[in-house]
Structure 1
Amino acid sequence: MASSTVTSSQPNRPARPNLAFRRVRGQRSPAEFAALVRRAAREIGERVSCDARYIGRVEAGEIRCPNYAYERVFLHMFPGRTLTDLGFASRSSVRGRGARMDEEAPLTDTTSPAHTTSGAHGVRETHGVYEPYETQDRQDPQDPQNPYDMHHDHEESDVLRRAFMTGGGATVAAASLAPLGLPHDALAAGRPSLRAGTREASALEEAVRRIRLLDDRHGADGLYRRAAAPLRTAYALLDAGATRQATADRLHLGAGELAISVGWLAHDSGRYDDARSHYAEALATARMTGDPALEAHAFCNTAFLARDSGRPREAVRAAQAAQRVARPLGSARLMSLLALREAGGWAGLADRTGCEQALVRAQALYGRGPCDADPEWMSFYGEAELEGLEAQCWSTLGDWQRAARHAGRAAHLQDPHFTRNIALYTAELADDLARGGRPDEAATAGMRVLDLLDEVQSSRIQTMLAGTARVLLPHRRASGVSTFLERHASLPRMA
């Protein structure tokens, strides 16, 4: 993917807020202004993945000079103004001699796929149309030597590869991402333009599996910042190219699946804007490579996110789009999950009939059993998840008794390996019981969740527990409720 930023010749220079750009945004929110940027890009035939986070980075001064695609869009939006008028630094002052050489060269066709070139005087900006995946937390504040900072001149493909293979973690769980080793002789060769091969593709695939495993056990909050770093590096490896087309295909698929995995970590830890952008990146990758399985996965997660962030109609449409793409793949279990995603959207729209019809489809499809066409990422989807998602639908519709029944089944059926899901289903059960007028049973279930929070870090689960605690406040005298409320109140506050 093309870089959305340029590399400073003074990497330690503190960012200076871009007040001029903030003024041109006016009264619009960052998200509204980002939408205007995307529309202006379409008017001139450009494609930029601008979102509220990008606008925030510009205004914070993190992006001192935009790439060429954004430059054309901004100058189209504000005729007669220069980049300097918009608060940006001149390209030559940011890039140094390498940029001056680049600007003196004839412009190339910007509609072709992006690729990155490097030279002796720094990393030259790619004339591409796509922006790379950046996350909100680019560097862990406790790790000033973070190897994933992409804004240093020496960050070339061999260093990126090393960062991807050896990235450590801020928590015990995240540290388990580290042993993705690359042979020492490859690192010592000192060839910054070395293309990715099968070892890098295999390590990327292993990173996806490991992130999913760690999420199953520990939840998202302790993993998100560190898991995002391999994703940035994965796209840098794509820019560097691959030795063979088969390897390139594996890298694209791995990068797309990694984007979804990191998006889920953002989703589960309450960073909905980040998750939305990650899923959109995965969807773009799927469409560029013509991969219907990856596209269905991206739409599946997009539907789930839309439901959770209060956009139920979008959830229905995304789930239906996923079903259209997935139907030829031949996986009844995948179609069952996608029907559940649709049911969640109908529940959010208070359409009980639509929800029930989708639930019936989901159950019938699930009953067909597993098959070889089932995607690897669906390992979490068993009878417990089916029950848990149905519980969420009934809860949204306000049928607390039915919701509690399904949530209880989900917690009982869940494989002990999926610690996070056990905590999730039990938190759902506690909330349904509380809202259904059974405070003593709700407190008992809530205590079971609290017992699991030493292992599981999930903002979603903590938010559910907080809601349950509020519902139980008037019932302090019920058996076990005061004990639950006191223990819940002693939890560390979420950041």
Structure 2
Amino acid sequence: MVTSPNESFRRLRGQQSPAEFAALVRRAAREIGETVACDARYIGRVEAGEIRCPNYAYERVFLHMFPGRTLSDLGFSPRESVRGRGPNRFAPVPALPSPAPPSSEESDVLRRAFISGGSATVAAATLGFTLPRRPGAHRRAGEAEADAVEAAVRQIRLLDDRHGADGLHRRAAEPLRTAYALLDAGTTRQSTADRLHAGAGELAISVGWLAHDSRRFGEARSHYAEALATARVSGDAALEAHAFCNTAFLARDAGRPREAVRAAQAGQRAARSVGSARLSCLLTLREAAGWAGLGDRPGCEEALGRAHTLFGRGTSDADPEWMSFFGEAELEALEAGCWSSLGEFGRAARHARRASNLQDPHFARNVALYTAQLADDLARAGVPDEAAAAGEQVLDLLPQVQSSRVAAMLSSTAVALLPHQRSPRVAGFLSRHSAL
């Protein structure tokens, strides 16, 4: 099919570059509580006519940016005229490509593949893996499907480490539905069923984390509960501990510190049979954060002491695969968060600085997160110029990292620095931040 350029949309961009216009789209999305991962490539696809109708999230953002105009005014075709049509309707659609937003046509392919396909067909369409054909009318999941689910979990984590959650969590929901459809289809062996339960549970946690980091707390809570239920059904203590760990983290972020303490303690009980000191350490740090949120300094300090003891025991073969991110840098960052919650910002900044310096550059999202935490702690500790310098480092990372958590922390820092805007260093940071 030959596409026609969207001249109307191109005129709206005016003299701005595609990247500059994409930044305005992301800013408009934040104004209405929407999350889109718009970049110059997406703007180029729209202007080239490749995206004939935006998905619903982009529709809301565009209509917010240009009030009084319709999609037709913006050069788009009616949704009903493009859905399910075109020669690429049944082309393979990878579930987790680069975090560019899907068009409505792509989303429709995923939905239809899930609804109409057998287990192997669905996994191939939504997870992006080529799976063997299964004979017979009733297809059961086998080792290939279990491999695909596990690979999807790793792929999501890799993309999150590199780019952050924004723009990724909607794509990742489709493989999650597929994983549970594979469980419903049944398996050929118990060992396969165990792998699928564990894989589906870990996938639920991964998708929940993407929602969590994108500040969609209700959605994250639902996914974590789904993972916990899966763990209980399959008797998987490691999965249960992981689900409680993320639930505790979410509770703290959502302003429910007592729930954070209870969830972290439940996770520690589940972790006892796993035999991983690092897993127990992380859960104890989650407990410490809950005590800090409650303003209970003795409780927080006692939990931090236990966490350091557990961390000192080192790594082991029992450490879960998902804990690859957890090292000394994360330990320092989580302790920084505790002291920040207790109002000791100078002490928090020292730990945040260590976290930032220790972090492996491969984890770009965490580098940005720790540096944003440092900037905020420095601003509140009364060191505005150093805070602005750290904030500018985060701004340099934003083109490759898309995380609502990082963006929210940076906005908080900007507000804290407003009284110091006469400082050239602070003024420079505030100007750059405002431009984004």
Q: If the length of structure 1 is used for normalisation, what is the TM-score?
A: 0.66
The correspondence for 1:208, drawn from 142, 147, 153, is 153
The correspondence for 1:275, drawn from 216, 220, 225, is 220
Deviation digits for residues 403-440 of structure 1 (CA, Å, limit 9, x no counterpart): 00000000000011111000000000000000111110
- Alignment-derived partner of residue 181 in structure 1: 130
- Alignment-derived partner of residue 307 in structure 1: 252
- Alignment-derived partner of residue 455 in structure 1: 400
SS of 1:220's equivalent in the other structure is coil
For 1:249 and 1:154, the matched residues in 2 are separated by: 26
Deviation digits for residues 175-202 of structure 1 (CA, Å, limit 9, x no counterpart): xxxxx3324xx2xx68553111111101
1:241/1:248 contact within 8 Å kept: yes
For 2:150 and 2:206, the matched residues in 1 are separated by: 11
The correspondence for 1:242, drawn from 187, 197, 217, is 187
For 2:229 and 2:262, the matched residues in 1 are separated by: 17
The one-letter code sitting in structure 1 at the alignment partner of 2:126 is F
Q: Which runs of 5+ in 2 are unaligned?
A: 1-100
Residues 153 and 458 of structure 1: CA distance in aligned 2, closer, same or farther (over 3 Å):
closer
Deviation digits for residues 66-117 of structure 1 (CA, Å, limit 9, x no counterpart): xxxxxxxxxxxxxxxxxxxxxxxxxxxxxxxxxxxxxxxxxxxxxxxxxxxx
The one-letter code sitting in structure 2 at the alignment partner of 1:398 is G
Offset at 1:158? 4.0
**Does 1:490 find its partner at 2:435?**
yes
- Alignment-derived partner of residue 31 in structure 1: none
1:208/1:261 contact within 8 Å kept: yes
Deviation digits for residues 245-304 of structure 1 (CA, Å, limit 9, x no counterpart): 111111111000000011001100111001000000000000000111100000000000
For 1:238 and 1:311, the matched residues in 2 are separated by: 33
- Alignment-derived partner of residue 222 in structure 1: 167
Residues 145 and 397 of structure 1: CA distance in aligned 2, closer, same or farther (over 3 Å):
closer
- Alignment-derived partner of residue 392 in structure 1: 337
Identity %: 68
For 1:306 and 1:147, the matched residues in 2 are separated by: 35
Residues 190 and 246 of structure 1: CA distance in aligned 2, closer, same or farther (over 3 Å):
closer
**Does 1:418 find its partner at 2:367?**
no
Deviation digits for residues 354-403 of structure 1 (CA, Å, limit 9, x no counterpart): 00110011011100111111111110000000000000010111100000
For 1:207 and 1:287, the matched residues in 2 are separated by: 22
1:443/1:484 contact within 8 Å kept: yes
Greater share of residues in helix: 2
Offset at 1:463? 0.3
Q: Which runs of 5+ in 1 are unaligned?
A: 1-138, 167-179
- Alignment-derived partner of residue 258 in structure 1: 203
For 2:117 and 2:214, the matched residues in 1 are separated by: 29
- Alignment-derived partner of residue 157 in structure 1: 119
- Alignment-derived partner of residue 143 in structure 1: 105
**Does 1:358 find its partner at 2:320?**
no
- Alignment-derived partner of residue 374 in structure 1: 319
Deviation digits for residues 312-346 of structure 1 (CA, Å, limit 9, x no counterpart): 00000000000011112211111110110000000
**Does 1:467 find its partner at 2:412?**
yes
- Between the two proteins, the alignment pairs up a number of residues equal to 336
For 1:153 and 1:164, the matched residues in 2 are separated by: 11
SS of 1:328's equivalent in the other structure is coil
Residues 141 and 192 of structure 1: CA distance in aligned 2, closer, same or farther (over 3 Å):
farther
Offset at 1:474? 1.1
The correspondence for 1:328, drawn from 273, 292, 297, is 273
1:196/1:243 contact within 8 Å kept: yes
1:158/1:190 contact within 8 Å kept: no
SS of 2:110's equivalent in the other structure is coil
Residues 374 and 277 of structure 1: CA distance in aligned 2, closer, same or farther (over 3 Å):
same
SS of 1:146's equivalent in the other structure is helix
For 1:379 and 1:488, the matched residues in 2 are separated by: 32
For 2:178 and 2:115, the matched residues in 1 are separated by: 15
Q: Which stretches of structure 1, 4 residues or longer, exceed 4 Å deviation after superposition?
A: 150-153, 189-192
Residues 323 and 148 of structure 1: CA distance in aligned 2, closer, same or farther (over 3 Å):
same
The one-letter code sitting in structure 2 at the alignment partner of 1:231 is L
The one-letter code sitting in structure 2 at the alignment partner of 1:285 is T
Question: Which segment is superposed worse, 324-333 or 342-351?
Answer: 324-333
The one-letter code sitting in structure 2 at the alignment partner of 1:458 is S
Mapping 1:281-300, distance limit 5 Å: 281-300=226-245
For 1:203 and 1:162, the matched residues in 2 are separated by: 8
Deviation digits for residues 113-154 of structure 1 (CA, Å, limit 9, x no counterpart): xxxxxxxxxxxxxxxxxxxxxxxxxx9554355333269863
Residues 453 and 459 of structure 1: CA distance in aligned 2, closer, same or farther (over 3 Å):
same
The correspondence for 1:231, drawn from 157, 176, 182, is 176
2:258/2:291 contact within 8 Å kept: yes
Offset at 1:164? 2.8
For 1:228 and 1:391, the matched residues in 2 are separated by: 32
Offset at 1:222? 2.2
1:148/1:233 contact within 8 Å kept: no
- Alignment-derived partner of residue 480 in structure 1: 425
1:259/1:279 contact within 8 Å kept: yes
Mapping 1:25-174, distance limit 5 Å: 140-144=102-106, 146-149=108-111, 154-166=116-128
For 2:109 and 2:196, the matched residues in 1 are separated by: 21
For 2:224 and 2:262, the matched residues in 1 are separated by: 15
Q: If the length of structure 2 is used for normalisation, what is the TM-score?
A: 0.75
Residues 438 and 235 of structure 1: CA distance in aligned 2, closer, same or farther (over 3 Å):
same
The one-letter code sitting in structure 2 at the alignment partner of 1:422 is V
